[in-house]
Amino acid sequence: MKGKAYLKRRSLKEIGDRMDFGLFLWMIVLFVALFFLSGIKVLKEWERAPVLRLGRYVGMKGPGIIYVFPLIDRIPKVISTRIKTMTFKSEQTLTLDNVPVTVDAVMYFKPIDVELCVLNVEDYNNATYWAAQTTLREVIGRVHLQELLSHREKIGEELRKIIDEKTEAWGVKVLSVEIKDVVIPQALQDAMSRQAQAERERIARVTLANAEYEAASKMVEAAKLYEETPQAITLRWINVLSEISSKGNMVVIIPAQIPGAGIAPIGLLGLNKERKDEA
C-alpha cells in the first residue's frame, strides 16, 4: 500500500513539474512574440519616420504599417509633411526713418525633404521660427514706416524669399509670409490722424474751389450763348415759367417784356448818363 501511495505521489509531482515547465515555455513564447510584435508601427498618410539602426541612419519609412527591430532600430521623431502655420512678431524695432514699431506676422511652411529635417537640424520648427524672427527685424530696419503700412504684400514676399533661403538647407519650404498687424506708438497715431484730417480738409476745399470755378465758367459760357442767340434766352424764360407754374397752386405774374441777355441799356450807368443829359 505504501508503495502504491508513493508511486501515486511521484506521478502527481511529475505531472505538476511538466505543467510548470509547459507554462514557463508558453510564457517565454508569449514574451518573445510580444517583443517582436512591438516593432510594428502604424503611420498616418502624412507622417514619415526616420529609422536609426545602432545610431546610423538607414532610411525613411511610412506611411502605413512599418516594422522596426526592437532594441536595434529607433525612431527619434515622427515628422508631419502637412503645411504648418507659425505666428511670430518682432519686439519694438526701429524702421529706416527711426519709428518704433511692433509687427505681427504669420508664416506657412512645410517640410519637403524629411531627411534634411532630421539630419541637418536638431529641431526644424524652432530653427524656422528664429530664422523668421530675425529676418523680420532685418527687413523692418530697411523700410520706411509708410512703405511698411501700405506695401504689406511686397514686404511679406521679401520676407518669404529671405526665410526660404535660410531654411532650404533644413529641407523646409516657406510657402508664404503675411503681415497681420503693425503697431505704432499712440502719440504717432494721433499725429498721423491729425495729418490725415488736415489732408482731407485740404482736398475738400480744393474740390469746392474747383466746383465754383467750373460753375462760374459754365455761367459765363451760357451768358455769351444767350447774348449771341436771343431766341435761346426766350426759350429758357418760357421753360422757367413752365417749371414755376408746375409747383402747385401758385399765381405767376408774367412781365410784359421778356428779359434779354447782356448788359441792360438802363442800368446804374445808364441812369446816371440820362440824368446828366436832362441836366
Structural domain contains residue 30: no
What is the pLDDT, as a whole number, of residue 19? 66
Looking at per-residue confidence, does 16 or 112 come out higher? 112
Angle at 167 between CA 162 and CA 170, to 5 degrees: 165
- Asked, for residue 89, whether it belongs to a domain, the answer is yes
* One domain for residues 114 and 87: yes
Q: What is the pLDDT of residue 149?
A: 87
- 115 and 53 assigned to the same domain: no
Predicted local distance difference test score (pLDDT) of residue 269 = 46
Domain residues for the domain of 48 are 40-79
What is the chain's mean pLDDT, rounded?
81
With a cut of 60, say whether residue 4 has pLDDT above it.
Answer: no
CA-nearest of 152, 134, 130 to 143 is 152
Residues 101 and 115 in one domain: yes
Q: Of 125, 150, 184, which one is at a domain's C-terminal end? A: 184
pLDDT band (50, 70, 90) for residue 166: very high
- Least confident range of 12-21, 138-147, 151-160, 196-205: 12-21
Residues 55 and 94 in one domain: no
Q: Cis omega (within 30 of 0) on the bond before 265?
A: no
Bond prior to 63 in cis (omega within 30° of 0): yes
* Same domain for 136 and 92: yes
| Same domain for 67 and 121 | no
Q: Which helix (H) or strand (E) holds 91?
A: strand 84-94
Examine the domain organization and report whether 165 and 91 are in the same domain: yes
170 pLDDT band, cuts 50/70/90, is: very high
Please compute, for residue 141, the number of CA atoms within 13 A of its CA located in the half-sphere on the CB side.
10
Please say which residue of 184, 203, 233 terminates a domain: 184
CATH number of the domain that residue 128 is part of: 3.30.479.30
What is the C-alpha to C-alpha distance for residues 240 and 228, in angstroms, rounded to an integer?
20
| Claim: this prediction has a pTM higher than 0.85 | no
Between 218 and 246, the more confident residue is 218
Alpha-carbon torsion, ordered 204, 209, 210, 211, to 10 deg: 90
Q: Does 16 have pLDDT greater than 80?
A: no
Q: Do 101 and 133 fall within a single domain?
A: yes
At 201-234, the pLDDT tens digits run: 889 888 988 888 888 888 787 777 777 777 776 7
**Domain identity same for 56 and 147:** no
Q: In terms of domains, do 49 and 117 share one?
A: no
Residue 108 lies in a domain: yes
Mean pLDDT across 251-272: 53
Query: Is the same domain home to 70 and 94?
Result: no
Residue 191 to residue 199: CA distance in whole angstroms: 12
Kindly state whether residue 87 falls inside one of the protein's structural domains.
yes
Same domain? For 120 and 177 the reply is: yes
Beta bridge partners of 60: 50
**115 within a domain of the structure (yes/no):** yes
Report the run of H or E that residue 26 belongs to, with start and end.
helix 2-37
The tally of domains found in the chain comes to 2
pLDDT, position 249: 61
In a domain? residue 163: yes
Q: How far apart are CA 147 and CA 96, in angstroms?
A: 10
pLDDT reported for residue 21: 65
The rounded Cα 143 to chain-centroid distance in angstroms is: 19
Per-residue confidence at 50, pLDDT binned at 50, 70, 90? very high
Does 2 fall in a domain?
Answer: no
More confident call, 277 vs 210: 210
For cell 502504491, what's the residue? 4
